[in-house]
Amino acid sequence: MKIESETYLDFSDVLIRPKRSTLSSRSQIDLNQNLKFLYSTQLWTGIPIIISNMDTTGTLEVYKEASKHSIITCLHKYHTISDFENYGISSLNPSLFMISTGISESDFSKLKEILNVVQCNWICIDIANGYQANLVSFCKKVREEWPEKIIIAGNVASREITEELIINGKVDIVKVGIGPGSACLTRQKTGVGLPQLSAIMECADAAHGLNAHIIGDGGITCPGDMAKAFGGGADFVMAGGIFAGHNENPGEVIIENGKKFKLFYGMSSKAAMEKYNGKMEKYRSSEGREVKIPFKGSLHETIEDYLGGLRSTCTYINAKTIKQISKCTTFVRVNNQLNKKFS
């Protein structure tokens, strides 16, 4: 048993210190990034926000709206070739959606089948526990099969496995976050995790030292949290709950006491396991919650709200581009950051 005395921080523990700025308008901010990768031969241009690969958010209908804003949709791993064909394969922008996969042999076979038909630049190798040794070997296998693809793997929350996935797994991007998601119960059920801001800072430092990238996955409750994730060194930010509950999200609108809701649930929840596996195995427990999210209307409005918040952050700290946010960020520790009188 060992206890680390260092204090690890979440988004709610800090604010970003404002700085003298030459920027007089949000319209001067360019949120588009131009990125190249350690192993992939692809070049990518877009806004480095990713909608999570949960089946209530990572869908082709969500992609349709998100792609208009040059942000990425990570499609959930239960999509079939028929789903792509019904949507229209030729209408998909291969730079703005990701194919997700687990790490079993059947997952690899399905991935091959889809990528033989669907042109996509991204592969997201996604398991809840990225500390499994067989994740590294699976990533290496995927790299050998598709050397030109941008390959992501996770989830992790610490330096050593970030470096392992990059060096030995040959991945371009490591997905960071153990338990910070709004529909995630991992920390409650297992006691495992690291506060998300500190995890991002640690893993970003490790990845950037190897000329690779990270995704800060989860823990976003407001545009300010997303700005803090970029400020902590995240190259991309992935979120699910904030992009749920809209017209474009799947599921019927539920009306209770005159109020409208849509369902949102974690992919390790009992609801998801019963939906896709027919049952939850007796040796497992549900590590995701099912949430009724107040209906939000158009996804367009939520995306614009977050992009506007990021532009405003940039004007406060004199960051002309989203890439400069981390270079211009100084965090201050706080005991309280919001006046909640009318919340």
Token pair of 44, please?
A: 């990518």
Nearest one of 229, 164, 166, 238 to 199, comparing CA atoms: 229
Contacts of 4 (CB under 8 A, 6+ apart): none
Give the Cα separation of 73 and 179 in Å (integer): 21
Instruction: Assess whether 186 carries a catalytic annotation.
Output: yes
Contact between 123 and 142 (Cβ < 8 Å): yes
Contact between 233 and 214 (Cβ < 8 Å): yes
Q: Of 56, 73, 186, 315, which one is the catalytic site residue?
A: 186
Amino acid letter for position 275: K
Token pair of 296, please?
A: 């939000």
Nearest one of 116, 15, 64 to 331, comparing CA atoms: 15
Q: Of 74, 120, 124, 184, which one is the catalytic site residue?
A: 184
Give the number of other Cβ atoms within 10 Å of residue 222's Cβ: 14
74, containing H or E segment: strand 72-74
Three-state secondary-structure class, residue 213: strand
Contact between 268 and 184 (Cβ < 8 Å): yes
Biggest CA-to-CA distance, the chain: 60
Give the Cα separation of 313 and 332 in Å (integer): 15
Give the Cα separation of 153 and 268 in Å (integer): 17
Contact between 276 and 328 (Cβ < 8 Å): no
Give the Cα separation of 207 and 199 in Å (integer): 12
Contacts of 158 (CB under 8 A, 6+ apart): 194, 199, 202, 203
- Annotated active-site positions, please? 184, 186
